Structure 1
Amino acid sequence: MDYRIVFFDIDGTLVNEEKEIPADTLEAVAHLKKNGIEPVIATGRAPYFIKPLAEALGIDSYVCLNGAFVVYKGKVVHKQPLDKETIAALVELAGKHKHSLVFEGGESYFADTENHPFVTESVNTLKVDQPGWDPEFWKNNEIYQMFLHCESHEEALYEELLTKLRLIRWHPLALDVLPPGSSKAMGIQALLDNLGLSREEAIAFGDGLNDKEMLELAGLGIAMGNSHEELLPYADYVTSSVDDGGIYKGLQHASLI
């Protein structure tokens, strides 16, 4: 198959636990671009979280916020914000249980509580700036994703909203809150449609639970050696870990470098 485009998750895929890009990954992406293959970041992160990484890799296209916000060469090509009524219902329910929320827009993000320890701890693992504070931010801005801060045994408190939103845990203290049906795969499909490419022409690399759909969608789904074990059945190929040349070896397997 002639692959034309490659989608890369960030955490545990392009970067290691220290949020560093291994030298062989930088080399692999440079080779990919030289060979005329389009590299695209596909992440749960917001666009304002990934600018330094994207610049370091020379990548200007990305599927962000788990597929809800897609940019190709600097131009927004797909948006899927959360419904305001659904956000209001979640705000009310989270307030009842004293669980903090973070609202992620296209250009900035804000928490509904100041200096909440769960927010501080979870966001610190991303090695990005802490959110601002604005409980009303969601009312006047499109929100593409939220963080709900609670422990795993408390997730059942939100079952009544699961027909209106999707929850994916990314930290012991935090879940991503997405529009229903939203996933990296949906954002990837929107970009493929925009470019006139088929799914068979795409490769996807990932390591986490929010990568299941995109590995299934892509013509070649590659799981990192450090992947969550529940991701492995969705992969066509398992490469080595992020710190052991996983990206380079995966692209070699696909005969792209």
Structure 2
Amino acid sequence: MATYKLFVSDMDGTILHNHTRIAKETAEVVREAEAQGIRFAIATGRNYFNAKEILDEVGLSCPIVSSNGGRVLTETGEVLHEIDLTTEDALKVVSVLHQDHKYADVFYEMYSEAGLVASRMDLIEAAMENLKQNGDDRSLEMYEFFRKRYYVNEDVKLVEDIEHFIQHEAGRVYKFIAFSSHFEKMSALWAEIDEQVDGVYVTSSGDDNIEVMANGADKGHGVTKLAEHFGVDLSDVVVIGDNLNDVPMFEVAGKGIAMANSHEELIKISDHVTERHDEYGVAKALKRVMNGEWK
């Protein structure tokens, strides 16, 4: 019988069978775990509303650590914790991103109290074309993801003057995420933001992106807040993920499980490695925790 009390899963590359959905089979295993007394939660870089929409599609209701720890909400949407970028730091991040001579093919999104926001549609179109031309599986998967985001669902607000938007309309700014299929530019952008903006934490959920939050907005802090809310000791928490932005929650939890498709640095610090995200790796790991195989 399982002894762990809280199981927290990342989304992309982890519980999502692809970039858009949770498999029904996985959702059933989550419900089995909850029936055994194991609480289930999500910790993701995605914004809260997008994460909740994906969970709703398979009938799951659970707490969500969103924006990499920028926001922590209960299953009913009650905010337990929020930490946002200062206006000054948000503007500094934008100033680095807008150096077109360096980052001409990089586009970015901003998660804010006013919703998911993007600027410079020309950069988005250029990046989309690069993804399409690359032709590898990851690029084509990302191309389809962004095509639906911008041209089908249209769930991103486009603004002409993002500096003005940050100062007057955004409200709280929780996160920036920047994308490029030119991996060396992602590394350079990471280093430059890290050096020039003091109040931020920079991480990544893949070689083709970087994520920027306020210091203290990470999945480790988010999982800790959830555990405190439920009165669960961190030693009784299991986390599962696939990339560098999952490292902070691996560092605080009693058990860390990496996906077979994980970044090598995450695998190094994991207690166990489960199957790939497209091989029901989360469901299989959760079953092993439930039956006591992974104690």
Please report the TM-score for the alignment, with normalisation by the length of structure 1. 0.88
> Who is 1:111 aligned against?
118
Q: How many angstroms does 1:107 deviate by?
A: 5.4
Q: Is the 8 A contact 1:22 1:242 kept in 2?
A: no
Residues 1:129 and 2:157 aligned together: no
Residue 172 of structure 2: SS of its match in structure 1?
coil
Give the TM-score normalised by structure 2.
Answer: 0.78
Query: What letter corresponds to residue 77 of structure 1 in structure 2?
Result: L
Unaligned runs of 5+ in 2: 132-141, 151-155
For residue 138 of structure 1, what is the aligned residue in structure 2? 166
SS of 2:14's equivalent? coil
Single out whichever of 15-24 and 73-82 deviates more from structure 2. 15-24
- Mapping of residues 1-257 of structure 1, within 5 Å: 2-55=3-56, 56-73=58-75, 74-97=77-100, 99=103, 100-106=107-113, 108-117=115-124, 120=128, 125=145, 129-130=149-150, 131-134=156-159, 135=162, 136-139=164-167, 140=169, 141-149=171-179, 151-152=185-186, 154-155=188-189, 156-255=191-290
Residues 1:244 and 1:256: Cα distance change in structure 2 (over 3 Å): same
Evaluate the alpha carbon distance shift between residue 138 and residue 40 of structure 1 in structure 2; reply closer, same or farther with a 3 A threshold.
Answer: same
The one-character-per-residue Cα deviations of 1:83-105 (angstroms, maximum 9, x if unpaired) are 11111222223223465442211
**Which stretch of the first structure deviates more once superposed, 114-123 or 72-81?**
114-123
RMSD across aligned positions (CA): 2.5
Mark the CA change 1:219 to 1:142 in structure 2 (over 3 Å): closer, same or farther.
same
The change in CA–CA distance for 1:233 and 1:127 in structure 2 (over 3 A counts) is farther
Q: From the superposition, tell whether residues 248 and 114 of structure 1 become closer, same or farther in structure 2 (CA, over 3 Å).
A: closer
State the distance in 1 between where 2:263 and 2:235 align. 24
Residues 198/153 of structure 1: CA separation in 2 closer, same or farther (3 Å cut): closer
Q: Once the two structures are aligned, what percentage of the paired residues are identical?
A: 25
**Would you identify which runs of 4 or more consecutive aligned residues in structure 1 move more than 6 Å?**
none
How many residue pairs get aligned? The number is 257
What residue is the counterpart of 2:138 in the other structure? none
1:77-134 CA-to-partner distances (Å, cap 9, x unmatched) read: 1000011111122222322346544221145111132342366566853676332112
| 8 A Cα contact 2:202 2:211, kept in partner | yes
Alpha carbons 1:104, 1:144 under 8 Å: kept: yes
| C-alpha displacement of 1:15 | 1.0
1:123–1:199 CA distance, 2 compared to 1 (3 A): farther
C-alpha distance in 2 between matches for 1:242 and 1:15: 7
Shift, 1:40, TM fit: 0.6
Residues 232 and 238 of structure 1 are in contact (CA less than 8 Å); yes or no, is this contact kept in structure 2? yes
Cα 1:172–1:212 change in 2 (3 A) is closer
* Higher share of residues assigned helix: 2
2:186 maps to amino acid: S
Which letter does structure 1 place at the counterpart of 2:149?
A: D
Say if 2:33 and 2:290, in contact at 8 Å, map to a contact too. Answer: no
